[in-house]
Structure 1
Amino acid sequence: MRRNPAPGDDNRGKGWTRLRSRFLGDRRGSTAMEFAMLALPFALLVFAILESCISFAGQEVMANVTDDIARQLRTGQLRPADVAGSKLQNMICAKLEIIVAKNCPGLLVDLREYPTFADAATASFKIVNGDIVLTQGTNSTSFGVSPGLAESRNMLRVFYKWPVMTDFMAKSMANLKDGNTLHFASVTWQNEPFDN
């Protein structure tokens, strides 16, 4: 049985069609819509570039500081008494504070003398459960500061747990606990024949 349309049913269908065609045909907000669709990926890309650049700059500053301290040790400007205890770490931190947080949280320093360069070549480190573990051959060692005298072979290793600020970058950059990534610098040398 066929129903007779109520007066106004026909107009309601036409009104909806007109409203839909007006909405789809109106291009006044298209720029705002395109911007909204592209703003988030663009912002993520900009933050990723900034995070990578700042991290790279921090790594370069740390490498330069490590080279500078090693040169002073190699030439005898710095003696074992000058770097004993936490003095070496404080010296490195003072130069790093231009780009890292005050008091250098996450800075670790290892300086030691080796009988030969071959022995120094066996010194390594690994990351175990998000922590840095120093190794000498197959044995684990602890961080320490024990530089040699004139004509000794030494290695300075500097580690910094760099915080990754951008959450979405932390998944790809972080290799340590608490969303940090490792910055590392190392210098191996033989001291000059200065007076002990």
Structure 2
Amino acid sequence: MKAYGQRFVRRLRGFSKDNRGVTAVEFAMIAMPFFILISAILELGVIFFAGQLLDNATFDAARMVRTGQAQVSSMSKSKIEDLICDRMSGLLCTDRDRLFVEVKSYPSFKDLASAPPLVDSNKKFQPPTTFNLGSRSSVMMVRVVYKWPMVTNWIKDAMQDTADGDRLIISTAIFRNEPY
């Protein structure tokens, strides 16, 4: 029995001196946090990129309203949505049911504070439905919302805006129409 115990101790000492496979073990220890970090960077990067595309598309659509081009050509809500989708290189318009456009006229800039919230107290999304191109010198708000589906569950828990786990990417332009 004593020989068996000595043999076991010698083998344990041999393992402690053997460096083969150390890299694989170290990589196994840091692989999961590394891949989680990479997935977070990629998902957040795509969200910020989509937000920038949505901002640019919103400002292009708002320019059409502000200069009177939308009113003169009697643009419909679907035409404004088409314009926004064309400006976003197809990234956000793969599912048009997730895109919401609101164009609303206000009597003055101070009345903009009365704009209804997009999410209620239960985190239920209240899609904007108003579409009014306004007239000359009207105070306008063009708000475009895209319900971005979050991919990674742990980022979804941290960044969701709605009860169904989506992130709302919102772009708003506020201006006074030109006297066209």
Q: Is the shorter-chain TM-score for this pair beyond 0.5, marking a shared fold?
A: yes
The aligned counterpart of 1:16 is 8
Query: Percent identity over the alignment?
Result: 34
The 5-angstrom pairing of residues 95-114 of structure 1 reads 95-114=87-106
Deviation larger for 16-25 or 93-102: 93-102
The aligned counterpart of 1:158 is 144
SS at match of 1:102: coil
Q: Deviations over 1:167-195 (max 9, x none)?
A: 2211111121332111111111111111x
SS at match of 1:73: helix
Q: How many residues align?
A: 179
User: Are 1:143 and 2:136 an aligned pair?
Assistant: no
1:53 counterpart letter in structure 2: G
Deviation at residue 101 of structure 1 after TM alignment? 4.8
RMSD: 1.9
Specify whether residues 160 and 173 from structure 1 end up closer, same or farther in structure 2 by C-alpha distance, changes over 3 A only: same
8 Å contact from structure 2 (residues 56, 87) kept in 1? no
Q: Distance in 2 between matches of 1:80 and 1:38?
A: 61
Specify whether residues 80 and 154 from structure 1 end up closer, same or farther in structure 2 by C-alpha distance, changes over 3 A only: farther
Structure 2 regions of 5+ residues with no counterpart?
none
Q: Deviations over 1:121-166 (max 9, x none)?
A: 32141422332337xxxxxxx5121111122121111111111112
Q: Distance in 2 between matches of 1:30 and 1:82?
A: 70
The aligned counterpart of 1:56 is 48
Deviation at residue 39 of structure 1 after TM alignment? 1.4
The aligned counterpart of 1:127 is 119
SS at match of 2:81: helix
SS at match of 1:154: strand
- Find runs of 4+ consecutive structure 1 residues off by over 4 angstroms: none
SS at match of 1:100: coil
Deviation at residue 52 of structure 1 after TM alignment? 1.0
TM-score normalized by the length of structure 2: 0.89
SS at match of 2:47: helix
1:155 counterpart letter in structure 2: M
- The structure where helix makes up a greater share of residues is 2
Structure 1 regions of 5+ residues with no counterpart?
1-8, 135-141
The aligned counterpart of 2:175 is 189
The 5-angstrom pairing of residues 75-86 of structure 1 reads 75-79=67-71, 82-86=74-78
- The structure where strand makes up a greater share of residues is 1
8 Å contact from structure 1 (residues 80, 147) kept in 2? no
Q: Distance in 2 between matches of 1:103 and 1:82?
A: 25
The aligned counterpart of 1:176 is 162
8 Å contact from structure 1 (residues 170, 179) kept in 2? yes
8 Å contact from structure 1 (residues 80, 146) kept in 2? no
1:37 counterpart letter in structure 2: M
8 Å contact from structure 2 (residues 93, 99) kept in 1? no
8 Å contact from structure 2 (residues 143, 173) kept in 1? yes
**Which has the larger Rg?**
1
Q: Deviations over 1:48-102 (max 9, x none)?
A: 1111111001111101111111111111121276432433223323333532251
